[in-house]
């Protein structure tokens, strides 16, 4: 990941206005189920970059319409969530064209988007993650039904924004839930449900931001709680031991390094009933809407949206100028 001094230099600017405006293209929309959120993130990023003094074009991009990538620009800012934008496809295209862009490279995005592979890598690197299984075929469903104790979480293997997630509390409902989720989304992950606090850690340039505890109205942080509800609580004052707080931050940085994340990402955690932390997943392109967690955490340390987005485009430019490799996965 890039040097934190770039962010500190931007943060020290009392106006948040860049000395030299950059031609930036914010890529939003995309073809996936998270398109509406991607459009909202793109608009928020574009507005922030304009406030920071940059020349900005906001573009809707799809796999069958890549015209925005032909725009003369210093740097591109992908604000697409889910398929195409967050699974490495868009990043691979930009790499092939030699474009400068914010965020992680193609390989890191592929790893983080595949929940099965990323969880295996976490386990191999001694990062705690909840027990899981993957189901796609009838025999997988039968195995899952026989092996799991309730409650469990059933979720699509490659969707984000909590789309398609179901908490199953009765064993006689598990097979049907898995089958319906497979029919709608494809392969699914079955994961042991953890009943403790839901936490998230934003990462900027290899540094952990303050932890946020998420308190939705329902049993978990679903799509409605993320993007619609006005009653979801986001807490910085968290009732956990200081040593545990620092351990979660350190493990979040380590997890990002294991997958080779770059510039920024968000690491999601859940505590079990005893208060032990378990890593859920890493988001390569976390949301940038008014409800989004990474901007909230960045603002807590003095980086409101204009400064944050300015810092990210300058991280990308600094990486280009220094010739840093696209992916930096470390096992």
Q: Is the pTM of this model over 0.75?
A: yes
Higher pLDDT, 243 or 33: 243
Confidence at 219, pLDDT banded by 50, 70, 90 = low
Q: What pLDDT was estimated at residue 224?
A: 54
Catalytic residue among 34, 74, 191, 222: 34
Query: What is the C-alpha separation between 36 and 30, in angstroms, rounded?
Result: 9
**CA distances (Å), 223 to each of 55, 86, 202, 287, in order?**
32, 17, 19, 12
Catalytic residue among 35, 110, 262, 266: 266
Q: Is the pLDDT of residue 148 over 70?
A: yes
Task: Give the torsion sign (CA, 176, 217, 45, 323).
Answer: negative
Tens of pLDDT, residue by residue over 83-140, are 899 999 999 999 999 999 999 999 999 999 999 999 999 999 999 999 999 998 878 8
Catalytic residue among 11, 41, 104, 161: 161
Lowest mean pLDDT among 108-112, 204-208, 220-224: 220-224
- Provide CB contacts within 8 A for 42, sequence distance 6+: 26, 27, 28, 29, 58, 60, 79, 80, 288
| Residue 55: strand pairing partners | 23
Q: What pLDDT was estimated at residue 17?
A: 43
Higher pLDDT, 318 or 158: 318
162 within 8 A of 189, measured Cβ to Cβ:
no
103 is catalytic: no
Catalytic residue among 281, 310, 319, 328: 281
Catalytic residue among 287, 292, 327, 328: 287
268 is catalytic: yes
| Residue 129: strand pairing partners | 279
65 is catalytic: no
Q: What pLDDT was estimated at residue 226?
A: 54
Tens of pLDDT, residue by residue over 156-205, are 887 665 678 999 999 899 999 999 999 998 999 999 999 999 999 999 99
Q: HEC states along 144-191? A: HHHHCCCCEEEEECCCCCCCCCEEECCHHHHHHHHHHHHHHHCCEEEE
Q: Is the pLDDT of residue 324 over 60?
A: no
DSSP 8-class letter at 77: E
**CA distances (Å), 26 to each of 101, 143, 324, in order?**
10, 45, 22
The domains of the chain are located at 4-103+302-322, 113-129+194-295, 132-192
* Residue spans of alpha helices (H) in 18-64: 35-51
Catalytic residue among 28, 118, 252, 283: 283
Instruction: Average the pLDDT over 284-301 and give the result.
Output: 92
At residue 320, φ and ψ (nearest 5 deg) are -60, -45
Q: What pLDDT was estimated at residue 157?
A: 82
266 is catalytic: yes
Query: What is the C-alpha separation between 50 and 44, in angstroms, rounded?
Result: 10
Query: What is the CATH architecture assignment of 113-129+194-295?
Result: 2-Layer Sandwich (3.30)
Query: What is the C-alpha separation between 65 and 31, in angstroms, rounded?
Result: 10
30 three-state secondary structure: coil
Tens of pLDDT, residue by residue over 259-276, are 999 999 999 999 999 999
Tens of pLDDT, residue by residue over 58-76, are 999 999 999 999 999 999 9
Question: Out of 3.30.56.10, 3.30.950.10, 3.30.450.30, 3.30.1490.20, which CATH number does the structure's domain 132-192 have?
Answer: 3.30.1490.20
Catalytic residue among 268, 307, 310, 327: 268
Q: What pLDDT was estimated at residue 16?
A: 44
281 is catalytic: yes
Query: What is the C-alpha separation between 156 and 189, in angstroms, rounded?
Result: 6
Query: What is the C-alpha separation between 114 and 221, in angstroms, rounded?
Result: 20
Query: What is the C-alpha separation between 122 and 91, in angstroms, rounded?
Result: 23
Query: What is the C-alpha separation between 71 and 324, in angstroms, rounded?
Result: 24
CA 118 to chain centre: 13
Instruction: Average the pLDDT over 208-214 and give the result.
Output: 97
245 is catalytic: no
Give which of 56, 105, 122, 45 is closest to 284, Cα–Cα: 105
Q: What pLDDT was estimated at residue 15?
A: 42
211 within 8 A of 246, measured Cβ to Cβ:
no
Instruction: Average the pLDDT over 5-29 and give the result.
Output: 68
Q: HEC states along 206-248? A: CEECCCEEEECCCCCCCHHHHHCCCCCEEECCCCCCHHHHHHH
Q: Is the pLDDT of residue 315 over 50?
A: yes
Q: What pLDDT was estimated at residue 18?
A: 45
- Provide CB contacts within 8 A for 176, sequence distance 6+: none
227 is catalytic: yes
Q: If you average pLDDT over every residue of the chain, what do you get?
A: 88
| Termini Cα distance of the chain | 14
Q: What pLDDT was estimated at residue 124?
A: 98
Catalytic residue among 88, 227, 262, 310: 227
CATH number given to 4-103+302-322: 3.40.50.20
230 is catalytic: no
Q: What pLDDT was estimated at residue 328?
A: 39
């Amino acid at each position: 990941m890039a040097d934190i001094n770039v962010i500190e230099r931007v943060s020290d600017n009392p106006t948040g206005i860049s000395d030299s405006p950059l031609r930036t293209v914010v890529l939003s929309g995309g073809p996936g189920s998270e398109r509406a959120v991607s459009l909202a993130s793109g608009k928020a990023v574009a507005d922030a970059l304009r406030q920071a003094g940059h020349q900005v074009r906001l573009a809707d991009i799809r796999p069958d319409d890549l015209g925005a990538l032909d725009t003369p620009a210093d740097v591109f800012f992908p604000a697409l969530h889910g398929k195409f934008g967050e699974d490495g496809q868009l990043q691979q295209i930009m790499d092939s064209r030699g474009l400068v862009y914010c965020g992680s490279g193609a390989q890191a995005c592929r790893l983080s988007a595949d929940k099965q592979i990323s969880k295996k890598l976490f386990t191999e690197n001694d990062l705690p993650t909840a027990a899981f299984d993957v189901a796609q075929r009838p025999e997988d469903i039968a195995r899952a039904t026989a092996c799991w104790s309730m409650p469990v979480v059933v979720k699509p293997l490659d969707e984000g924004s909590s789309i398609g997630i179901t908490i199953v509390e009765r064993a006689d409902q598990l097979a049907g839930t898995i089958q319906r989720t497979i029919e709608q989304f494809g392969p699914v992950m079955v994961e042991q449900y953890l009943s403790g606090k839901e936490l998230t850690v934003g990462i900027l340039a290899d540094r952990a931001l303050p932890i946020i505890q998420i308190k939705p109205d329902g049993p978990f942080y679903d799509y409605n709680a993320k993007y619609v509800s006005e009653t979801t609580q986001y807490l910085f004052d968290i009732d956990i031991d200081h040593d545990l707080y620092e351990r979660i931050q350190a493990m979040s940085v380590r997890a990002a390094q294991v997958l080779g994340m770059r510039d920024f990402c968000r690491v999601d955690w859940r505590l079990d009933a005893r208060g032990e932390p378990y890593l859920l997943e890493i988001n390569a392109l976390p949301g940038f809407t008014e409800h989004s967690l990474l901007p909230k955490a960045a603002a807590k340390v003095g980086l409101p949206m204009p400064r944050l987005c300015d810092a990210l485009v300058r991280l990308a430019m600094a990486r280009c100028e220094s010739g840093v490799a696209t992916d930096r996965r470390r096992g």
